[in-house]
Structure 1
Amino acid sequence: MTNKSSSPIVLYGTRFLSPYIMLFGFYVIFHGHYSPGGGFQGGTLLAVSLLLIRIASGTDLAQLQFKEYLTTPLAALGVVIYFGTGLTALIMGGYFLDYEELPIPGLEPAYLRYWGILIIELGIGLTVMTVLTLIYDNMVKGEDYA
């Protein structure tokens, strides 16, 4: 980036749009087991909402929104959520990601599948969001935009 001064109009516009993009990303994740979409698409939208602020304002101001040191642990947490759900079903006597075997008491198989898919989508969304943010942060290391 050759011009290192940030425009207040661009910064205001991105600060206005970012929460709406994030809200739509959560909608895509939570509605992903009913319609097209899900964890990957919602995680990408969440990453876009974070990267929009990072591109418009520079790295120092963007650290107030989402700290860079959180990306790797949260990406690993998303993978643990995904595989933990699958391994739990496997340990309980079912197949890997067989949601009917999840140990949630008092739920019918249809509701177990509902909650199992939602847990999986949240793990995937968290991983995709943080990995895309991590890729961007690693690409701009060495360049000071502030």
Structure 2
Amino acid sequence: MRSQFDSPIIVLGARLLTPYIMVFGLYVIFHGHYSPGGGFQGGTLLAAAVLLIRVATGRRVSRLQIQEFATTPLAVIGVIIYFATGFAVMITGGYFLDYGQLPIPGMDPVWLRYTGILIIEVGIGLAVMAILVMIFDNMVKGEDYA
């Protein structure tokens, strides 16, 4: 008896598209402070790539990507990156998320702002990706999902 996930065309299409979606998601995250995009948009693209494989191949193959138990720690790490950046500025006497006051010695305030925004975007992208994958995993729990 064939499983609903035995279509080689669907699996091949998902496996071919996923790396390009992930690269574009990373581009959106890392280029978000120059152009439209950022952490949320890039995180949703990364989650879409992970979910494409999960929907196309089922639970057996998707366990090789991100395990279900790993989504919560990844989301927490993303939130910690966000708040640690803001808290580090507050410790040095600045306002929360005032990137020009980041405690990185020897950097121009312009580069500090650039670096701070990039760190924030990475944290937001990681948290959004993990939370969207977690929502999908919770929705399909107990379903016929090979």
TM-score bin, normalised by smaller chain: over 0.9
Other-structure match for 1:24: 24
Other-structure match for 2:52: 52
Structure 1 runs (4+) deviating above 2 angstroms are 3-6
Match runs of 1:69-80 below 5 Å: 69-80=69-80
Aligned mates of 2:26, 2:4 — CA distance in 1: 32
Shift of residue 144 of structure 1? 3.3
Q: Give CA-to-partner distance per residue, 1:37-91, whole Å, 9 cap, x none.
A: 0000000000000000000011121010111111000100000000110011111
Other-structure match for 2:114: 114
Other-structure match for 2:134: 134
Aligned mates of 1:128, 1:43 — CA distance in 2: 5
Q: Give CA-to-partner distance per residue, 1:69-124, whole Å, 9 cap, x none.
A: 11000100000000110011111100000011111111100000000000000000
SS at match of 2:105: coil
Q: Structure 2 stretches of 5 or more lacking a match?
A: none
Aligned mates of 2:45, 2:5 — CA distance in 1: 26
Aligned mates of 1:139, 1:43 — CA distance in 2: 19
Aligned mates of 1:145, 1:78 — CA distance in 2: 28
Give yes or no for contact 2:5–2:56 (8 Å, CA) kept in 1. no
Q: CA RMSD in A?
A: 1.0
Amino acid at match of 1:69: F
Aligned mates of 2:5, 2:65 — CA distance in 1: 20
SS at match of 1:85: helix
